[in-house]
Amino acid sequence: MKNAFPQEFLWGGAIAANQVEGAYLTDGKGLSTSDLQPHGIFGEIVERHEGDHGIKDVAIDFYHRYPEDIALFAEMGFTCLRVSIAWTRIFPQGDEAEPNEAGLAFYDRLFDELATHNITPLVTLSHYEMPYGLVKNYGGWGSRKTIGFFTRYARTVFERYRHKVKLWLTFNEINMALHEPFTGVGLPKESSKGEIYQAIHHQLVASAAAVKALHEIIPDGRIGNMLLGGLLYPLSCAPADVLATQRQNRDWLFFGDVQARGYYPSYMTRYLREQGVALEITEEDRETLKSTVDFISFSYYMSGCVTADEALNQQMRGNILNMVPNPHLASSEWGWQIDPEGLRILLNMLWDRYQKPLFIVENGLGAKDKLEADGSINDDYRIQYLNDHLVQVGEAMEDGVEVLGYTSWGPIDLVSASKAELSKRYGFIYVDRDDNGEGTLTRRRKKSFNWYQEVIRSRGASLTRK
Ligand code: BG6
C-alpha cells in the first residue's frame, strides 16, 4: 500500500483502567461501578464484601507492571497510548472536597513513564466506571449534583496533569447508556426512558463543562467526545427499512450532535415529545452545552443491519446494540460481524456530518489465541482484521477525511468489558492469565507484535490490500 499516513498520525493502542489496572482498593481507591460487575457489563451487579474476589481486582496488574508494558508498547513504536483515569483513585467516593494524593501520584508516574518513551497520552476521564458512592448516595447521573462532582474531578486532573497530558476524552462510548444504564449513567437496568435520558442529559452537560474547563486550564490541549460507532445499514432498500435505519443511527449520533454542535437536534425534540419524556433542561445547561468538542473519537468493531420489523432487529446482539446479521459479512468467534469497509463508510459519514477531526480510539479483534509449545502465538486472524481495517482508514484519508490517529483496542490482553473474560484476547502482547484468574501474568509477544511494529515503522506502507 502506498504511504497514506502522515508523519504526525498517532499510532498506538487503547486500554481502560478497570480492564487492566487491578489494585482495585490500593492506595485509597474507592469502589467503582465496574468493581460491582465482576461478570462484565452484561452480568449481574454484585455488592462487594471483604475477602471476596473478582477477575478485575487484579486484571492484568497494570498498576504494578506498567513500566514493563509501556516498554513493550514503545518497542512496537507506539506514539500514542489511550488510557483512562479511574475516577475512584482520585475521588474514592466521588463527593470528597479534596482529591486522594496517592491516586494522583500513580497517574503522575504513568504519564512520566510514557514521556520517557515519547508516547503521547490520550486520556479518557470516565471509561465505563464511576464512583459507586455517587450511585449509592445520589443516584448516579440521575442526580444533577453529579455534574458538579464530575466537573471537580475533571478540573482536578486537568490542573494536575496540564503539562503532561494535552489530549483528552470525556465519556467512553457515551451512547451506551441507552443500552446499559448502570455502566453508562449509574442507573438500574429497569429505569424508564425518561430517567435514562435525564441522566444522559446531565452527563452531556458534564461533558461540555469538562470541555470548557479544559480550554481554560490547558489552552494548548484538545478534548474529544467518544462514541460507540454503531454503524447500521438498512437490511433492504424498502423505504421503511431505510427510515428505521436512519432513526436507529440517530439514536447514537444524537450524542455526537449535542457534543459537536452544542444543542439538541430537532429530531430528538420530536422523539422525546412522542415518548412522553419532558427533560429538565435549564438555561444554564443550554449555555454550558455550547462548549463543543475539538475532535470526535469513536470505537468501531462491527456493523449491523436494521429492518422496520422490530422482532427481527432483536435477533442479534453486537457489542452493545441489537442488530440484524448482514448476509454479506463473516463474524468473529463472538458473533461480531467483520466489516472493514464499514470503517471507511463511518469515517466519511462522521466527517461529512461534523467537519471535525476524527480519532479511531478503539478497533480490534477479540479472539481465542493458542499458545504453542515453543511459546509462540500465531494470530494471523488478528493481523488480517487489523490490516484490512487500517487499509480502509488509509482510503478514508484519501477521501479527504481528517484522521488524527488510530489506537487499536487492547494492545495487551485485558479483561473484556462485556463478560469479564480473559480468553477474549485483543492484544499484540499475550498475558498468561485465564478466565478463572489462573496464570503467572507473564507477557509474551505475539506474531502481530512484529507485524504492527512494521506497520508503524513504515507508516502504513507495509499494509497489504486484497
Ligand atoms: C468497547 C469498550 O465497547 O468495546 C471497551 O469501550 C471494550 O471497554 C471493547 O473492552 C471490546 O468489548 P469486549 O466486551 O470484547 O471487551
Q: Is the CB of 16 under 6 A from ligand 1?
A: yes
Q: Does the active-site annotation cover 159?
A: no
The one-letter amino acid code at 7 reads: Q
Does residue 96 sit in helix, strand or coil?
coil
* Measured distance CA(12)–CA(120) in Å, rounded: 9
Between the CA of 418 and the centroid of ligand 1 the distance, in Å, is 6
Q: Residue 404 C-alpha to ligand 1 middle, in angstroms?
A: 21
pLDDT at res. 392: 98
CB 410 within 8 A of CB 418: no
Strands 358-362 and 316-317: unpaired
| Verdict on whether the full-model pTM lies above 0.95 | yes
Locate the DSSP E strands across 105-191. 120-126, 167-171
For ligand 1, whether the C-beta of 298 sits within 6 Å is no
Given ligand 1 and candidates 32, 319, 385, which is best to mutate, with the most ligand atoms within 8 Å of its CB?
319
CA of 350 to the centre of ligand 1 (A): 21
Listed residue (276, 259, 271) closest to 201, CA to CA: 259
The residues pairing with 82 across neighbouring beta strands, listed in sequence order, are 14, 122
Our measurement of the distance from residue 234's CA atom to the centroid of its chain's CA atoms, rounded to an integer in Å, reads 25
- d(CA 377, CA 389) in angstroms, rounded, equals 21
Q: Is residue 314 domain-resident?
A: no
How many angstroms is it from 416 CA to the middle of ligand 1?
6
- Can 362 be counted among the known catalytic residues? yes
pLDDT of residue 319: 52
The two beta strands, 222-228 and 358-362, are: unpaired
Going residue by residue through the chain, which has 466 residues, state the pLDDT in tens, using 9 for 90 and above.
Answer: 665 799 999 999 999 999 999 999 999 999 999 999 999 999 999 999 988 999 999 999 999 999 999 999 999 999 999 999 999 999 999 999 999 999 999 999 999 999 999 999 999 999 999 999 999 999 999 999 999 999 999 999 999 999 999 999 999 999 999 999 999 999 999 999 999 999 999 999 999 999 999 999 999 999 999 999 999 999 999 999 999 999 999 999 999 999 999 999 999 999 999 999 999 999 999 999 999 999 999 999 999 999 998 777 766 655 556 678 899 999 999 889 999 999 999 999 999 999 999 999 999 999 999 999 999 999 999 999 999 999 999 999 999 999 999 999 999 999 999 999 999 999 999 999 999 999 999 999 999 999 999 999 999 999 999 7
Going by their DSSP bridges, the two strands 10-14 and 403-409 should be labelled as: parallel
* Beta carbon of 291 within 6 Å of any ligand 1 atom: no
Q: Which three cell numbers stand for residue 117?
A: 518513551
Burial class (CB in 10 A: 0-12, 13-18, 19+), 223: buried
Q: Whose CA is nearest to atom 8 of ligand 1?
A: 417
For residues 462 and 83, the answer to whether their CB atoms sit within 8 Å is no
CA distances in angstroms from 392 to 277, 345, 356, 395, 406, listed in the order given: 40, 9, 19, 5, 12
82 lines ligand 1 (CB under 6 A): no
Give the burial string for 132-150 (b: 16+ CB within 10 Å, else e): bbbbeebbbbbbbbbbebb
CA-nearest of 378, 431, 410 to 61 is 431
* 119, three cell numbers: 508516547
The predicted pLDDT at position 310 comes to 77
Instruction: Please state the domain count of the chain.
Output: 1
Domain assignment of residue 194, given as a range: 10-237+247-305+323-457
> Does any domain span residue 310?
no
For residues 2 and 398, the answer to whether their CB atoms sit within 8 Å is no
User: Cα(361)–Cα(338) distance, rounded to whole angstroms?
Assistant: 17
Whose C-alpha lies nearest to ligand 1, atom 15? Answer: 416
Residue 116's domain is classified under what CATH number?
3.20.20.80
Are the CB atoms for 435 and 55 separated by under 8 Å?
Answer: yes
Domain assignment of residue 2, yes or no: no
Cα separation, 355 vs 221, whole angstroms: 19
Mutate to test the pocket of ligand 1, among 320, 362, 424 (most ligand atoms within 8 A of CB): 362
Round to whole Å and give the CA distance between 414 and 426: 8
Closest CA to 111 of 40, 160, 184, 38: 160
Does 311 map to a domain?
no
Instruction: Find the 362 Cα to ligand 1 centroid distance in Å.
Output: 8
**Most distant CA pair in the chain, distance:** 65
Q: Decide: 173 in ligand 1 pocket, CB within 6 A.
A: yes
Q: Are 164 and 115 in contact (CB under 8 A)?
A: yes
Write down the pLDDT at residue 1: 61
d(CA 156, CA 86): 13
Q: What is the Å distance from ligand 1's center to 230 Cα?
A: 13
C-alpha cell at 104: 494522583
Strands (E), 282-399: 295-299, 304-306, 316-317, 322-323, 358-362
92 lies in some domain: yes
pLDDT at 320: 58
Residue nearest to atom 12 of ligand 1 (CA): 417
| 387 in any annotated domain | yes
Q: Answer whether residue 315 is part of any domain.
A: no
299, part of any domain: yes
Catalytic residue among 21, 113, 129, 173: 173
